[in-house]
Copies of this chain bind each other. A is one copy, B any other.
């Protein structure tokens, strides 16, 4: 089995070589933001998952590289457009694309990236290609639906836990599931195995997004790469906020609701006040328990997955690393 670090190297090299091809293309104003976005780095999680799933059934990893690039380019497209919609200023400790260039650039170069992801996908030689394109297209639509729910929820005060979990399933988890399933399909796995890996990806993705929510409030800005407290400022209906509203005493609920409905406020003050309430209500512990429960389902699914332990090891390691269970 090819180790994680090797897979990441292969992906980085492939993305760099694809970026260099784009450098030569005109108009530069369209392709420079694409390059900037792909050059921002990141964990390359989705392409790694795709290659790992592929590698469980085949050693010819280079055959899956175009699809790996496709899911990473698609993921970066969603970041470009989400950052415009969320007015985010920073991503991976760098200015977001619409800050570095402008909003029109971020819209149009984002569009180009959506189509570039299909171009990369089409480079795969596989009998399963049409099935993979359908999976990818349905996933892309689900990701759009998830982003819409996320925005809608900002204006609502009555979002339930179930609604929130469905939103993050769509916004985050399905692309992890899709990456794994596409990797398996490309390697001609059985349909059932591809489906099982998708399920594993969904649970991993739910745990991962819950952790992202947790880090947005309780993380370290440098390692997190975004401003801490952004979710609080934007009234994002995260698991943290939903649970806090649920557990709060009448007094605490009033304080929380006042902060959410306040039109004028100092961001730093709001972040401190809401974090304090989260601490009083032990929201961090509660969220960690929820993360654990999804992580445990994912681990269980992987344990039961009908392949040798050695073959499943990289995926096990990666999921532990993603959720910081490796120390």
Q: A248 within 8 Å of B by Cβ?
A: no
Q: A138 to chain B: which residues have CB within 8 Å?
A: 119
> A106-114, A174-182, A205-213, A215-223: which one contacts chain B?
A106-114
Does B84 contact A148, Cβ atoms closer than 8 Å? no
Q: A137 to chain B: which residues have CB within 8 Å?
A: 115, 118-119, 122
- Given the known interface contacts A107-B81, A122-B137, the answer about A115 and B144 at a Cβ–Cβ threshold of 8 Å is yes
The residue that A81 contacts in the complex, of B111, B129, B134, with Cβ under 8 A, is: B111
Each complex incorporates copies of this chain amounting to 2
Q: A111 to chain B: which residues have CB within 8 Å?
A: 81, 110-111, 114, 144
Minimal beta-carbon separation of A185 from chain B (angstroms): 15
Q: A110 to chain B: which residues have CB within 8 Å?
A: 111
Q: A151 to chain B: which residues have CB within 8 Å?
A: 29, 104, 108
Q: A148 to chain B: which residues have CB within 8 Å?
A: 27, 29-30, 108
CA distance A15 to B104 in the complex (A): 29
Q: Do most interface residues of chain A lie in helix, strand or loop, or is the interface mixed?
A: helix
CA distance A119 to B142 in the complex (A): 12
Does A30 contact B119, Cβ atoms closer than 8 Å? no
Q: A84 to chain B: which residues have CB within 8 Å?
A: 104, 107
Q: A234 within 8 Å of B by Cβ?
A: no
Q: A104 to chain B: which residues have CB within 8 Å?
A: 84-85, 151
The bracket for how many chain A residues form the interface is 20 to 34
Q: A327 within 8 Å of B by Cβ?
A: no
- Given the known interface contacts A85-B108, A114-B111, the answer about A122 and B144 at a Cβ–Cβ threshold of 8 Å is no
CA distance A141 to B111 in the complex (A): 8
What is the 8 Å Cβ interface bit string for chain A, positions 114-151, against chain B (1 contact, 0 not)?
11101100100000011001100110110011011101
Q: A246 within 8 Å of B by Cβ?
A: no
Q: A276 within 8 Å of B by Cβ?
A: no
Q: A149 to chain B: which residues have CB within 8 Å?
A: 27
Q: A152 within 8 Å of B by Cβ?
A: yes
Does A133 contact B118, Cβ atoms closer than 8 Å? yes
A85's closest neighbor in chain B, by CB? B104
CA distance A29 to B104 in the complex (A): 22
Interchain Cβ contacts under 8 Å between A and B, 14 examples: A29-B151, A29-B152, A30-B144, A81-B111, A84-B107, A85-B104, A85-B108, A111-B111, A111-B144, A112-B145, A114-B114, A118-B118, A119-B134, A119-B137
**Top 6 A-B residue pairs of the complex, sorted by shortest distance between their CB atoms:** A30-B148, A115-B140, A112-B144, A85-B104, A118-B137, A27-B148
- Residues of A that sit less than 8 Å from B by CB: 26-27, 29-30, 81, 84-85, 104, 107-108, 110-112, 114-116, 118-119, 122, 129-130, 133-134, 137-138, 140-141, 144-145, 147-149, 151-152
